[in-house]
A = this chain, B = another copy of it.
Amino acid sequence: MMSRPAVHPLDSSSTTIEAPAVPTVRMKDFQGMPGTTGGLLLRLCQFGFAVISLCVMATTSDFPSVTAFSYLVAAVSLQCLWSLLLAIADIYALSVRRSFRSAGLVSLFTIGDGITSTLTFAAACASAGITVLIGNDLDRCNVNHCKRFMSATAMAFLSWFSVSPSFFLNFWSLASQ
């Protein structure tokens, strides 16, 4: 059913003499998987949203006084690092025209995506809970940076939202191998 080129970028090692114009189609390379342009775009989105969230939250003076906000800063920092690392890996894969096919690498990516996305989502939810508590329930936006907290939370959610496709595509390709 699936004849996947495990390591070799070109499949021209067959013994046929005719048909030299076979395109270098890599099977089951959905856009969004590691080593594709879509995957690189997803990584850049994750990185961008996480960086914005980090910057917005870190520039509020009173974020260290709330545990959940400090945790958000830590979680999106990790997300930044991870997404940047995988974006670099994607750029390398695209530049040498290879794709990641080994099960070991794909499981590593899946586990990493799972962990970082869970942490980012948890941090975003905790921050959202506290932002809503300050803004709606206690109505103390006059003495707090409600808008900045909200923006940082929203960006963290967007970052999580763009990690999810990477995670599910990796998990799917791992399970269907």
Q: Which residues of A line the B interface, CB within 8 A?
A: 1, 65-68, 121-123, 125-130, 132-133, 136-137, 171-172, 174-176
A66: B residues at CB distance < 8 A: 133, 137
Query: Smallest Cβ distance from A5 to chain B, in angstroms?
Result: 19
14 A–B contact pairs at CB < 8 A? A1-B1, A66-B137, A67-B129, A67-B133, A67-B136, A122-B125, A125-B125, A126-B126, A126-B128, A126-B129, A129-B130, A130-B133, A171-B172, A174-B175
Q: Which of B127, B136, B137, B172 contacts A129 (CB 8 A)?
A: B127
A125 with B121, Cβ < 8 A, contacts A67-B136, A175-B172, A175-B175 known:
yes
